[in-house]
């Protein structure tokens, strides 16, 4: 079921975007989204839900990307699934609720990012394929990437984004024509600030050339081979909003950026604010919500609690006087009175006792019970 029932607090105007107006660029284009990864860096949350389905600014993360694809005028979307494959179809069905036509192709064994693209070939309808990693929050109009692809008459066009510190990403230099000259996975000495943004345009023939029925990495195998073979690989370079949502730090930040309108999402219809509270959630008087916090359905925030830049999933309870900062509070979690949760991930159903302190990257596994005062970084009683 696709729904949208929440209210924003202290509303402001969401970021606007420069959008490509030539929707005919989308003709003959299928969108493919890779959603088959295990999301290990977001465990324990991804033990029960695949990463692209985690609630982000009130919606499954993937819905923000699907709304961007829809806004670009692309109708047909193929999801390449593997880990927890059934969850996607249960939620999005045939896509008609979003005005899309969604097909699903499941890999029994994960085929990797390149194998996942090759595997959806039988479902493709057009001659151009726009591929997305299913865990990137981006502000780039897909049509702008398609335009570059058409103008350059490229075999493959990669979206490249300029970032402050490119060392943790695939670094992709281009020549003065915009043609990709190298593909360097995570290097300490990057020659450019342009990184692989996880969005590519492939011509159908290029997809056909990816080896079938075995795991293939698009980053480590497909791109290096395309360059060796002399294929026409171009970059579409910009400095738009971009975030890989793969880690807890990035996930909370990305969610907060969506709520505050720093990251644009057509799924939010231009709404934004300092926090977002779902209908049916309870926020006691004197509780302070800020920093792009999201409070899920049926969740409760007690009097005097302070929740800053956090994602509180459905049914969770944060008791009076507790402080939650930049953390993810899983489904049905109970955070006791005056507890401190900072830069932490609390798995579904865990119970954090009164006055506990969980900070600096702590991850509590689902269902774990920490008694009152049972975990602290100070000696006060």
List the interface residues with ligand GTP, window 235-274 (CB under 6 A): 246
Q: Provide φ and ψ at 77, rounded to 5°.
A: -125, 135
Residue 210: CB minimum distance to ligand GTP, A: 13
Measured CA to CA, the distance from residue 267 to residue 148 in angstroms comes to 25
The length of the chain, given as a count of residues: 381
Choosing from 55, 95, 134, 315, the residue that interacts with ligand GTP (CB under 6 A) is: 134
Closest by CA to 140, choosing from 273, 266, 291, is 266
Residue selected from 41, 123, 204, 220 as contacting ligand GTP according to rule CB under 6 A: 41
* Candidate residues 44, 55, 60, 80; the one interacting with ligand GTP per rule CB under 6 A: 80
Of the pair 91, 179, the CB lying nearest ligand GTP is at: 91
According to the binding rule CB under 6 A, does residue 170 interact with ligand GTP?
Answer: no
Query: Is 110 an interacting residue with respect to ligand GTP (CB under 6 A)?
Result: yes
Q: What's the CA gap between 315 and 126, in Å, rounded? A: 43
Q: Does 113 bind ligand GTP (CB under 6 A)?
A: yes
Cα(103)–Cα(275) distance, rounded to whole angstroms?
34
**Which residue has the CB atom at the shortest distance from ligand GTP?**
37
DSSP code string of 87-153:
HHHHHHTTSGGGT-EEEEEE-SS--HHHHHHHHTGGG--SSEEEEEETTEEE---HHHHHHHHHHHT
Size of residue set near ligand GTP by CB under 6 A:
21
* Rounded distance between C-alpha atoms, residue 35 and residue 81, angstroms: 5
Q: Does 133 contact ligand GTP by CB under 6 A? A: yes
Q: Which residue stretch of 92-100, 129-137, 248-256, 348-356 sits at the interface with ligand GTP (rule: CB under 6 A)?
A: 129-137
Rounded Cα–Cα distance for residues 206 and 104 (Å)? 21
Q: How far is the CB of 353 from ligand GTP (least distance, A)?
A: 30
Which residues of this protein are in contact with ligand GTP, per CB under 6 A?
Answer: 34-41, 51, 80, 82, 107, 110-113, 116, 133-135, 246
């Amino acid at each position: 079921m696709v729904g949208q029932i929440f209210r924003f607090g202290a509303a402001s105007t969401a970021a606007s975007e420069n959008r490509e107006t030539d929707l005919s660029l989308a003709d003959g284009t299928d969108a493919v989204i890779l959603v088959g990864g295990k999301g290990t860096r977001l465990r324990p949350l991804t033990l029960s839900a695949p990463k692209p389905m985690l609630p982000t600014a009130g919606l499954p993360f993937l819905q923000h990307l699907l709304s961007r694809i829809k806004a670009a005028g692309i109708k047909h979307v193929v999801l390449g699934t593997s880990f927890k494959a059934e969850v996607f179809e249960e939620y999005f069905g045939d896509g008609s609720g979003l005005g899309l036509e969604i097909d699903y192709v499941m890999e029994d064994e994960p085929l990797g990012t390149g194998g996942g693209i090759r595997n959806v070939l039988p479902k493709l309808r057009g001659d151009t394929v726009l591929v997305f990693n299913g865990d990137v929050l981006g502000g780039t109009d897909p049509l702008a990437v398609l335009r570059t692809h058409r103008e350059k008459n490229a075999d493959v066009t990669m979206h490249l984004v300029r970032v402050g510190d490119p060392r943790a990403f695939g670094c992709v230099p281009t020549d003065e024509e915009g043609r990709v000259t190298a593909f360097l996975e995570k290097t300490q000495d990057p020659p450019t600030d342009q990184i692989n943004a996880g969005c590519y345009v492939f011509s159908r023939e290029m997809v056909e050339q990816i080896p079938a029925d075995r795991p293939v990495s698009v980053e480590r195998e497909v791109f290096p081979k395309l360059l060796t073979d002399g294929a026409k690989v171009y970059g579409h370079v910009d400095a738009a909003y971009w975030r890989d949502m793969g880690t807890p730090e990035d996930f909370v930040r990305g969610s907060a950026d969506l709520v505050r309108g720093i990251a644009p999402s057509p799924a939010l219809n231009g709404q934004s604010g300092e926090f977002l509270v779902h209908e049916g959630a309870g926020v006691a008087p004197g509780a302070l919500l800020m920093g792009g916090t999201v409070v899920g359905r049926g969740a409760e925030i007690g009097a005097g609690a302070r929740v800053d830049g956090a994602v509180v999933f459905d049914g969770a309870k944060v008791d009076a006087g507790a402080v939650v900062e930049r953390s993810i509070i899983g489904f049905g979690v109970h955070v006791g009175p005056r507890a401190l949760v900072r830069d932490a991930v609390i798995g579904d159903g865990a119970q954090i006792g009164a006055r506990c302190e969980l900070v600096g990257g702590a991850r509590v596994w689902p269902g774990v019970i920490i008694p009152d005062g049972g975990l602290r970084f100070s000696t006060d009683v």
